[in-house]
Structures are given as structure tokens and as C-alpha cells.
């Protein structure tokens, strides 16, 4: 039965971010004021705070004297609830400063804020004696504990909140605190400031399962030593983390980067990821890295892309003079990342010398990173190198081995084990960290997943043994069997014996719309866009009829299904899509995308690939021609595929990558001459 319009919301457990604020000195201020002056003096402050909280989408669920409890994610949730909470908190601090400057009463000068934020499950609804909407549970208690631990004027967040906002704010790791009534320690972080431009790839999730890195202490220590060597020598260093699929390469890089960010506030971290769908796009790793740094979009008008690039380079160039100017460096950088400067006097000298132009661009990158390093050490996170194009690998090798400059630059890379066999000579001398299966025990499983703290030894040992030491397999099992009441033992007994089978089960547990959306998303590759999913939906014969959707409600249905994928932690939303006005997502793991694609009926694949090809072709420049070509090839339209393969080869050759261009042209010649279908 539908809820009446004015009915109170039903009690429900939600993932929420809770802010606990204490205004230090407020009670003393009230005591000093005459009763008729209290509201006159303090109302402007409460009005300011109320407006800030409202603008950031928060809800005040409790006020006790000089303390506020504010929730994000209840009753409505957003992907960026934690970021909104932290941004609001920093703005509250600024709002108090403005209030104190404008207040006539001198006693306001002693006011300070102390704030704590925690993200976790809450019970939300019209609860308690007054029947007003509020949130209850340990999450609120932890937020208050964090507030009590904060220094006047500071904001402390829990690890669960920090992991959600990483990269958007500068944070400092503090000494862990003990949770009340337990021996458990909680990692806490002080938020220093909001970063004006996030420097690395960031993704958001709606899921709430807390996980901790376990069993990689030796590897973390090795990475620390490589970083210390970078600082001591001021020479570029390369650490390559390798291992089988699902063994935790990306997680190790993620955790180590978090360690560096909270221990070295002057650090500059930039990141990029190679993808199978972009493996033949020249310099894609670097294109993605700088696009994220400068906020570039694939569909930016050229004047906008040029402006963003030059402003981005000037932001870290500094005042030191040299033979190379910021403008020249920007023009050569633009050459390899797809920001063209047709009338550049610098590029004109290399008009018919693409190889020499690329080499000059490599030298410009040296200068750029040296300029950035004047502010502090630089760390580049380059993941999934087994999918990297030849040009990207060549630039990595140049910066690491051939530069000869004093640059405190650490390149942290991840790749599957077979990559070393393919590029053994190029990466000889790097610090190789090979990850194997974890030696799991019941205690380690419990440590990795706090949700399992009350689970029996027998169940924990079963999970450890069944996973075979593969962290991704273990995580997917835990997500399958853990609910509000603990582990579902009947479900545990029915789990498939392989990771691939488990991922199929996870997809099968989705709604009909959720499954269809996952399948159609997989057509694009591991990274996909809402627009490409909609294109596949519309291109697949008979799907809208089966799902009972029309062109009028398709967008809403697909967005709801994408939210479901995020809630189940099967996909993550990227902060800032490469296409303006669209939403970009990534499957949690490459294997998950492969499984989803295998489940898409073969009779739909031709039409879906054609639809995605046509959608992409309208949005991209010559850099992504290879992606369009492969979609047309899989659609069976070999004539169109040939056109885009030729564009891709010409683009690679224009960047001096003759080897990649030759490979593309050779492959194109192997295509059939006839149209399938």
C-alpha cells in the first residue's frame, strides 16, 4: 500500500555521514549576556549555520544547547554525501570566523568549533518521545567521540569517511583513538583544507561494507623504502607491483598512496589507469593523467582546452626563469595529449618530424615535473600497465631512466604478472613487488571485515579456505553472505567455487533492470557512460518492450539501475566525466566486466556495438578513433571500421608512433570485406 503524502517516513537502516559539532565557549557567552540580548547576538550565527547546512544538503537531526548533529544520506542519499559533509564543516568554520568579525560583543571572540564526522549505518525515522525525524546508532556515537577528540578549531573524520573523500581534501593522519567500551583502535584524520583541483582519478560508491588492507605489511614497507630513496637521491624511481587478477595490486597502491598523502602534506599525487578499450590510443595514460589535473573534457571546444591547459601549467610553473617557457611546454604537452595548437611557433619547427617532436615533448615533461617538484615530491600512480600503449610506456621509461635530472619523482605502477615477460628489458632495474595469494586465517578475515567481528571461527576459516587467498574472491563472498543479521549460513553453503561463478551470482541477484544495465554497460568496456548505456538500450532489439520502458522513462530507469550497481559496489561513479553533461562509471574489476559481457545474448551484441560506435563517433576526436573502429568491427560493419582504423593509424603516425600505426593498418587489412547481419 503506498504511503500517504504526509505520512512520516518508515524507520530504515541507511548509510549516512554524521557530523557532530560543538561550539566551544557558547554556553559561557550566553551566561554573560542579558536575556534580552541572547537572541539578538546569537541568531545571526544560527541563521548562518542553518543556511550553510541547507546549501550542502545536510539535515539537522538534533540540537542540544551548543551542539549540533547533522546527517547526510538520510532521508535522501547522494553519491557525494561525505564530501558535502566535510565541505559544509569547513564552511561552518569559515562562517564562525565571519560572525566573530562582524559581532559587536567581545565575548564572541572566544568561540571555536570542534567537529567530528563518521560514515556508517544509522537507524533513521521518526523516533523518540517527540516523534521527530532523526538518526540513531553507533555512527552518531562515533561522530561525537571524534568531536571530543578534536582540538578547538579542528575537524576530525573517521577512516570510513576519509576513504570516501580521499583526493578532494588535504588530510593529516593522527594518532588512533580507542573506541569506547572496546580495545579496538580507530584511525582518524584531521581535514586541513579542500583541494582546488583534485589531482588524481576519483570514484564514488554508495556501498557501505568496510574493508581493511591485511597481510601486506612487507610490501608496504618495501614501497616506503622506495619512496625514501626518492627523497634521498632526488632521482626518479619506479616501483612495479605485479600479480594475478584479483590479488590486490590496485588496493595496495591505493592504501600506500593514502599513507603518503596523510604523512607528507606537500606531496603531489597524480594518477591514471590503462584500459583494454584504450590500449591502442597513443599516450592514453598521460592524456588521462593531465586531463584529470586540468579538468579537460573530450568535448571541450579547442579554445577552452587550450585555456585550461595553459592555466594548469602556469599554476605550478613558478617564477624561476629558464630556457623553456610555460607556453612552449604547454604546446608540446598538448601535442601528445590531444590539445592542438595549429599555429604554434614551437611546433612549427617540427612540422614534418613527428618523432623529433615527440622527443621534444618528452623533454618538456621533464621540465614540467621538475617544476612541480619544487613544491614537494611527486608520485604518479599508473595502474594496469599490461593494457598501456607503447607511447605511454616509452614516456615512463624516459622519465625514469633517461631523464638525468634531479627530480624527486616516484612512479608507482601496477600490472598483471605476464607484463614482466612482455616488457622485462624495459623495466629492468625497477623495484619489482610480486604479490601472491594471502595466507589467510580466521583472525585476518575478521580484521579485514569489521562486519564479521562476531562471526564464528568455523565460518571465517571456511571463507579463508574457499577464497584461496585471493582478496577479491574473499570480498565478493563476504558481500554475498553478510546482511544486517550477520552471515547467512544457508547462502554461504550455496556459493560457487570460482570467482567467475560468484560474479555471475552477484549479477543474477540484481533486479531485471539492474542486470540489463550491467550487460549493456559492458559493451563499452570496463569504463562506460550513462549515454553509452542508453545508446545500447535503444539499439538492442525488443529490450524496451521486455523491460516495459519507453523513451519517456528510459533515462530514469537506467539511472536507477546504475544507482543499484553502485549500491551493490559493482560499479563506481567517476568524479568528473570526460564527456560534459554525462556520468562516467567503471566496473569494480575487469573480470566483472568480462562476465557481464558474456551474459549479454549474442544476438544483441551486433546492434549494441553499432549503437555505441555511433554514440562515440559523435563525441570524440581522432585520439579515440580506434575505439570507434573496434565497436564497428564487433558490429560487423567492416567498411565503417576501416574508416576509423585509418584515422587511428594516421593519428598514431602524427605522434611519431610508426610502430603502433603499422600494427593498426596491418590489423585493418585482415578484416573481411563484407557486412555482417
- Alpha-carbon torsion (337, 297, 621, 383), positive or negative: positive
How far, in Å, are 9, 12, 234 from residue 76 at the CA level?
A: 11, 12, 49
Q: Cα separation of 605 and 635, whole Å?
A: 7
Q: Which residues, at least 6 apart from 6, have a Cβ–Cβ distance to it below 8 Å?
A: none
Strand partners, 556: none
Confidence of residue 1 (pLDDT cuts 50, 70, 90): very low
Q: Write out the three cell numbers for 179.
A: 573506541
Q: Cα separation of 220 and 215, whole Å?
A: 10
Q: Cα separation of 50 and 42, whole Å?
A: 13
218-435: same fold as 12-195?
no
Strands 378-383 and 409-416: parallel
Cβ–Cβ under 8 Å, residues 239 and 411: yes
Q: Cα separation of 11 and 8, whole Å?
A: 9
pLDDT score of 159: 87
Direct distance between the N- and C-terminal alpha carbons of the chain, in angstroms, rounded to an integer: 48
Q: Cα separation of 653 and 661, whole Å?
A: 6
Q: Cα separation of 49 and 22, whole Å?
A: 12
Residue 672 DSSP code: -
Say yes or no: domain 218-435 is CATH 3.40.50.300: yes
Unique residue bearing C-alpha cell 554573560: 32
What's the mean pLDDT when you consider all of the chain?
89
pLDDT score of 608: 95
Q: Above pLDDT 90, what percent of the chain?
A: 61
In residues, how long is the chain? 677
* H helix runs in 239-283, sequence order: 249-263
pLDDT above 80 for 107: no
Q: Above pLDDT 70, what percent of the chain?
A: 93
Backbone angles phi, psi at 404, to 5 degrees: 80, 0
pLDDT tens digits for range 68-96? 999 999 888 888 899 999 999 999 999 99
pLDDT score of 229: 96
pLDDT above 80 for 128: no
Cβ–Cβ under 8 Å, residues 462 and 494: no
Largest CA distance in the chain: 91
Residue 387 DSSP code: G
Q: Which residues, at least 6 apart from 494, have a Cβ–Cβ distance to it below 8 Å?
A: none
- Considering the entire predicted model, what is its pTM? 0.83
Q: Cα separation of 395 and 552, whole Å?
A: 47
pLDDT score of 183: 66
Domain spans of the chain, in order of start: 12-195, 218-435, 453-495, 507-669
CATH architecture entry for 12-195: 2-Layer Sandwich (3.30)
pLDDT tens digits for range 228-278? 999 999 999 999 999 999 999 999 999 999 899 888 878 899 999 999 999
Q: Write out the three cell numbers for 641.
A: 571500421
Q: Write out the three cell numbers for 429.
A: 632495474
Q: What is the spatial order of strands in the sheet that 378-383 belongs to?
A: 268-273, 378-383, 409-416, 237-243, 431-435
Q: Write out the three cell numbers for 129.
A: 518521545
Cβ–Cβ under 8 Å, residues 412 and 256: yes
How far, in Å, are 120, 150, 186, 373, 525 from residue 158 at the CA level?
A: 10, 12, 7, 30, 34
Residue 623 DSSP code: G
Amino acid at each position: 500500500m503506498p504511503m500517504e503524502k504526509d505520512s512520516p517516513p518508515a524507520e530504515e537502516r541507511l548509510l549516512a555521514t554524521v557530523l557532530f559539532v560543538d561550539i566551544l565557549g557558547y554556553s559561557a557567552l550566553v551566561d554573560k549576556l542579558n536575556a534580552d540580548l541572547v537572541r539578538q547576538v546569537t541568531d545571526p550565527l544560527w541563521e548562518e549555520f542553518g543556511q550553510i547546512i541547507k546549501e550542502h544538503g545536510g539535515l539537522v537531526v538534533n540540537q542540544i544547547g551548543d551542539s549540533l548533529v547533522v546527517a547526510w544520506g538520510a532521508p535522501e542519499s547522494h553519491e557525494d554525501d561525505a564530501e558535502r559533509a566535510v565541505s559544509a564543516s569547513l564552511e561552518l568554520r569559515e562562517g564562525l570566523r565571519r560572525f566573530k568579525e562582524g559581532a559587536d560583543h567581545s565575548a564572541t571572540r572566544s568561540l571555536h568549533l570542534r567537529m567530528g564526522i563518521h560514515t556508517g549505518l544509522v537507524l533513521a525515522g521518526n523516533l523518540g518521545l517527540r516523534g521527530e525525524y532523526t538518526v540513531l546508532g553507533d555512527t552518531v556515537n562515533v561522530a561525537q567521540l571524534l568531536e571530543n577528540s578534536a582540538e578547538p578549531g579542528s575537524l576530525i573524520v573517521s577512516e570510513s569517511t576519509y576513504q570516501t573523500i580521499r583526493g578532494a581534501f588535504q588530510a593529516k593522519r593522527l594518532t588512533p583513538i580507542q573506541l569506547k567500551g572496546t580495545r579496538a583502535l580507530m584511525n582518524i584524520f584531521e581535514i586541513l583544507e579542500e583541494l582546488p583541483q583534485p589531482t588524481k582519478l576519483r570514484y564514488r560508491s554508495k556501498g557501505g561494507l568496510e574493508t581493511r588492507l591485511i597481510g601486506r605489511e612487507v610490501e608496504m614497507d618495501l614501497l616506503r623504502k622506495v619512496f625514501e630513496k626518492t627523497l634521498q637521491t632526488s632521482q626518479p624511481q619506479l616501483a612495479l607491483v605485479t600479480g594475478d587478477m584479483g590479488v590486490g595490486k590496485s588496493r595496495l597502491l591505493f592504501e600506500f598512496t593514502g599513507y603518503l598523502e596523510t604523512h607528507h602534506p606537500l606531496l603531489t599525487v597524480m594518477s591514471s589507469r590503462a584500459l583494454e578499450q584504450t590500449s591502442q590510443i597513443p599516450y592514453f595514460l598521460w592524456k588521462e593523467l593531465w586531463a584529470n589535473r586540468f579538468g579537460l573534457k573530450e568535448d571541450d571546444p579547442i579554445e577552452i582546452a587550450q585555456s585550461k591547459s595553459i592555466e594548469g601549467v602556469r599554476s605550478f610553473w613558478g617564477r624561476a626563469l629558464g630556457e623553456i617557457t610555460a607556453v612552449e611546454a604547454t604546446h608540446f604537452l598538448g601535442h601528445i595529449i590531444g590539445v592542438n595548437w595549429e599555429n604554434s611557433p614551437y611546433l612549427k619547427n617540427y612540422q614534418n618530424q613527428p618523432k623529433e617532436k615527440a622527443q621534444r615533448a618528452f623533454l618538456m615533461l621533464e621540465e614540467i615535473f621538475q617544476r612541480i617538484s619544487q613544491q614537494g615530491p611527486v608520485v604518479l600512480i599508473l595502474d594496469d600497465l599490461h593494457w598501456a600503449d607503447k607511447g605511454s610506456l616509452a614516456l615512463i621509461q624516459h622519465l625514469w631512466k633517461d631523464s638525468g635530472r634531479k627530480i624527486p619523482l616516484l612512479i608507482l605502477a601496477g600490472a598483471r604478472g605476464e607484463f614482466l615477460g612482455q616488457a622485462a628489458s624495459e623495466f629492468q632495474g625497477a623495484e619489482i613487488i610480486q604479490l601472491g595469494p594471502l595466507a589467510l586465517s580466521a583472525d585476518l578475515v575478521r580484521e579485514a571485515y569489521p562486519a564479521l567481528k562476531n562471526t564464528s571461527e568455523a565460518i571465517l576459516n571456511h571463507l579463508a579456505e574457499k577464497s584461496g587467498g585471493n582478496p577479491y574472491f574473499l570480498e565478493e563472498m563476504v558481500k554475498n553472505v553478510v546482511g544486517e543479521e550477520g552471515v547467512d549460513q544457508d547462502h554461504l553453503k550455496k556459493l560457487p567455487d570460482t570467482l567467475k561463478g560468484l560474479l555471475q551470482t552477484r549479477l543474477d541477484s540484481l533486479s531485471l533492470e539492474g542486470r540489463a544495465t550491467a550487460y549493456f554497460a559492458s559493451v563499452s568496456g570496463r569504463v562506460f557512460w550513462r549515454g553509452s548505456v542508453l545508446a545500447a538500450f535503444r539499439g538492442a532489439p525488443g529490450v524496451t518492450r521486455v523491460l516495459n520502458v519507453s523513451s519517456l522513462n528510459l533515462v530514469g530507469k537506467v539511472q536507477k539501475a546504475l544507482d543499484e550497481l553502485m549500491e551493490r559496489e559493482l560499479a563506481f561513479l567517476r568524479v568528473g566525466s570526460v564527456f560534459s553533461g554525462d556520468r562516467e562509471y567503471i566496473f569494480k574489476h575487469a573480470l566483472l566486466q568480462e562476465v557481464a559481457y558474456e551474459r549479454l545474448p549474442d544476438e544483441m551484441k551486433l546492434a549494441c556495438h553499432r549503437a555505441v560506435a555511433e554514440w562515440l563517433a559523435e563525441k570524440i576526436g581522432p585520439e579515440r578513433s580506434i575505439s570507434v573502429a573496434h565497436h564497428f568491427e564487433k558490429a560487423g560493419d567492416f567498411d565503417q571500421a576501416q574508416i576509423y582504423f585509418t584515422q587511428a593509424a594516421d593519428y598514431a603516425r602524427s605522434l611519431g608512433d610508426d610502430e603502433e600505426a603499422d600494427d593498426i593498418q596491418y590489423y585493418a587489412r585482415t578484416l573481411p570485406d563484407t557486412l555482417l547481419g
